[in-house]
Amino acid sequence: MSTSPAGHLADLTGKVAIVTGAASGIGRATVELFVERGVHVVAEDRDRAVEKLAGPSVAPLVADVTEEDSARHAVSLARDRFGRLDVLVNNAGVIINKTVADMTLDDWNAVLAVNATGAFLHSREAVRAMLPQGSGAIVNVGSYACFQAFPTIAAYAASKGALAQLTRTLALEVIGHGIRVNAVGSGDTVTHILDHIHDDGPGFLAEHGSGTPIGRAAQPREIAQVIAFLASEQAAYLVGSIVMADGGMSVAAGS
């Protein structure tokens, strides 16, 4: 079996991917891992910091995933700059912690728009590009909240439940055309997603993760490794799966 100079399995070499939410956390780690494995990447984020990732293998795109044109621009950029599109990673995500009683309509809509509608829009445009070539992979970044809930995450849990069902439904629609759609169900990961709530968001997540069976939170690269697997032909028989990467949280009794 051939390997890249870095010793990795070479089955992603030469692929072209879009990664949303690429400026930070899991998305950024995914861009870095993809580049190491010879993937050309359109790195999309609403945060201008994504422009710092620019390079021979990375085309940054400053865009909001909730806008319909963003998905079209991302696919066009992949084709114009790198010639095709093989992989979409729907990773951009936000969370708001409020009880339903306290939640505004704007709160609810903001979370659903990024986590569910943004993934729908990008999946639609990606599939339209992949169908004629008869191949492709879409990886959605889900969560323990695809299945579980606790107070204050109603909008987030609803959005990740929607993402799980988008994953399953689209997987059935396109597997006959050689396109695989799967998701990773991430547990606590040391990123900046809670920075708007906590002074030290990564520190809070690291501490919170210590309560999982594995005894620690994930590093973004550990989730990126699962994303890379799902994007690769090594995952050829996975169709509509939500692969839990949560340190055992979802299988522990009472969790």
Ligand X SMILES: NC(=O)c1ccc[n+]([C@@H]2O[C@H](COP(=O)([O-])OP(=O)(O)OC[C@H]3O[C@@H](n4cnc5c(N)ncnc54)[C@H](O)[C@@H]3O)[C@@H](O)[C@H]2O)c1
Min dist CB 154 to ligand X, Å, is: 14
Residue with Cβ nearer ligand X (38 or 211): 211
Contact by Cβ (8 Å): 124, 67: no
For ligand X, which is the closer residue by CB, 11 or 117? 117
Catalytic residue list contains 144: no
- What residues make contact with ligand X under the rule CB under 6 A? 20-21, 23-27, 45-47, 64-66, 91-94, 114, 141, 143, 186, 188-189, 191-193, 205
Task: Give helix 154-174 / helix 105-112 axis angle, nearest 10°.
Answer: 30
Which one is catalytic: 27, 156, 193, 205? 156
Taking the least distance from each CB to ligand X, the nearer of 20 and 97 is 20
- Shortest Å distance, C-beta 105 to ligand X: 18
CB of 22 to ligand X, least distance (A): 7
How far is Cα 104 from Cα 117, in angstroms, rounded to an integer?
18
Closest contact distance (angstroms) between CB of 120 and ligand X is 13
Whichever of 32 and 188 has its CB closer to ligand X, that residue is: 188
Inter-residue contact 74 to 83 (CB < 8 Å)? no
Q: Which residue has the tokens 């390997």?
A: 3
Q: In what order do the strands lie in the sheet with 242-245?
A: 58-62, 40-45, 16-20, 87-90, 136-143, 179-186, 242-245
Residues with catalytic roles: 156
